[in-house]
């Protein structure tokens, strides 16, 4: 059981890396780097299409990764 969960954890980790790399780049200029992007905080549009889908995929994979990690800790301690 431990080996199966460990294998699933590695697969999910690779999928998270791929999902993050596939997300569209957000263009930041020098003013947002210096001000911390505070001007864009309230003007942010809701992501649509591919960007929204990739954010949801990344969130779901992150939750699965967290649950698998906790399950591995529980199994290894018992």
Q: Give the domain ranges of the chain.
A: 1-23+47-78
Token digits of residue 13: 């980790």
Q: Tokens 């591995």 appear where?
A: 72
Are the C-beta atoms of residues 47 and 55 closer than 8 Å to each other?
yes
Give tens-digit pLDDT for 49-74: 888 899 999 999 999 999 999 999 99
pLDDT, residue 70, reads: 97
Q: What is the dihedral of CA 47, 50, 51, 56, to 10 degrees?
A: 100
pTM over 0.75: no
Distance CA 3, CA 18 (A): 23
Q: Helix, strand or coil for residue 20?
A: helix
């Amino acid at each position: 059981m431990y080996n199966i969960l460990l294998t699933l954890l590695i697969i999910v980790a690779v999928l998270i890396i791929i999902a993050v790399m596939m997300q569209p780049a957000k263009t930041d200029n020098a003013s947002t780097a210096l001000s911390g992007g505070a001007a864009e905080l309230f003007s942010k549009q809701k992501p649509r299409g591919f960007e929204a889908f990739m954010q949801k995929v990344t969130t779901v994979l992150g939750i699965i990764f967290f649950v698998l990690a906790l399950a591995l800790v529980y199994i290894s301690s018992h």
